């Protein structure tokens, strides 16, 4: 019973990690930039979601609008920052991204936006049932997170493998100059990459906000480094690696806390896993040597 329950909880936690890390992995795959400001998009998505829900009272509409808004915001980040930094050393856009994240987080704390207070997000499980078995229980909120994550990941997989856009992303990730030489519109596919990746971050923000019934301006601080750890663990730029690393990290965190308690802060476990991975497999689980 305890094992199955801990495993189910870990899978749900891994889903929240995955939605955040998947978009970051997609951006890194094309631009080779650690897009730290991605965590701000996560917060903005949660903020837009809770605002729309307070107006219309419909979870699915608030999720859709939050994802679209986050996607457009991601395109704006690309167009007004990374667009001008494509040909400079990769440390330059990294520093710009960190500065952008700090600026946006500070801006969101202003009274005319989110302010310094938490906002409740009482959407519940969006009408989904609770699942109770002799081995484990899944709440309606957990089922919602799992269902939305599976649907979004399937759509991303189909986009990556069955469309010209996905092929363009793969070509650009290998060699941007060669991709442009064979007729691929780099600006368009990079903008679409930011749109999809940012939409996933917005969805993650909404789902975590509902799960914790709380949305606040600094909620992106923790995901900003958790997502970074996950893409390093999975192999830089590898989406299957990000999926595997998200689940692995969530399982390790859940079972360590369940077995030894809070001897260490839960979030520090991620850094221990990262250190061990860098010692024995520095290129990540599915990264190329």
**Where along the chain do its domains lie?**
2-280
What is the band of 66 on the pLDDT scale with cuts at 50, 70, 90?
Answer: very high
Backbone angles phi, psi at 131, to 5 degrees: -110, 120
pLDDT, tens digit, 9 for 90 and up, residues 127-179: 788 888 888 888 899 999 999 999 999 999 999 888 888 888 888 888 888 88
- Note the residue count of the chain: 289
Mean pLDDT to the nearest integer, 17-42 = 88
Position 154 scores a pLDDT of 94
| Degrees to nearest 5, angle at CA 217 with 58 and 144 | 35
What is the band of 263 on the pLDDT scale with cuts at 50, 70, 90?
Answer: low
Asked whether the beta carbons of 203 and 45 are under 8 A apart, the reply is yes
Model confidence at 261: pLDDT above 70: no
Asked whether the beta carbons of 270 and 253 are under 8 A apart, the reply is yes
CA 229 – CA 135 distance, rounded (Å): 31
Mean pLDDT to the nearest integer, 113-119 = 87
CATH of domain 2-280: 1.10.3470
pTM: 0.92
What is the band of 23 on the pLDDT scale with cuts at 50, 70, 90?
Answer: confident
Lookup result for tokens 């094309």: 30
């Amino acid at each position: 019973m305890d094992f199955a329950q801990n495993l189910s909880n870990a899978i749900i936690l891994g889903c929240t990690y995955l939605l955040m890390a998947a978009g970051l992995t997609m951006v890194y795959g094309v631009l080779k930039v650690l897009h730290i400001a991605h965590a701000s998009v996560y917060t903005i998505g949660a903020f837009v979601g809770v605002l729309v829900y307070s107006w219309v009272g419909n979870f699915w509409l608030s999720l859709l609008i939050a994802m679209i808004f986050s996607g457009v915001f991601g395109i704006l980040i690309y167009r007004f920052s990374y667009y001008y930094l494509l040909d400079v050393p990769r440390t330059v856009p990294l520093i710009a991204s960190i500065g952008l994240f700090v600026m946006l987080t500070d801006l969101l704390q202003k009274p005319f936006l989110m302010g310094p207070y938490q906002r409740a997000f009482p959407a519940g499980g969006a009408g989904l049932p609770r699942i109770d078995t002799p081995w484990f229980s899944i709440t309606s909120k957990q089922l919602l997170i799992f269902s939305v994550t599976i649907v979004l990941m399937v759509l991303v997989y189909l986009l990556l493998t069955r469309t010209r856009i996905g092929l363009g992303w793969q070509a650009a990730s290998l060699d941007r100059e060669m991709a442009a030489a064979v007729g691929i519109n780099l600006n368009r596919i990079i903008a679409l990459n930011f749109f999809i990746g940012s939409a996933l971050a917005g969805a993650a923000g909404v789902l975590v906000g509902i799960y914790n019934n709380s949305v606040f301006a600094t909620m992106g601080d923790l995901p900003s480094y958790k997502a970074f750890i996950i893409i390093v663990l999975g192999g830089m730029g590898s989406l299957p690696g990000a999926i595997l690393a998200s689940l692995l990290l969530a399982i390790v965190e859940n079972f360590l806390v369940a077995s030894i308690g809070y001897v260490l802060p839960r979030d520090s476990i991620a850094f221990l896993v990262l250190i061990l991975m860098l010692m024995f497999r520095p290129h990540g689980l599915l990264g190329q040597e």
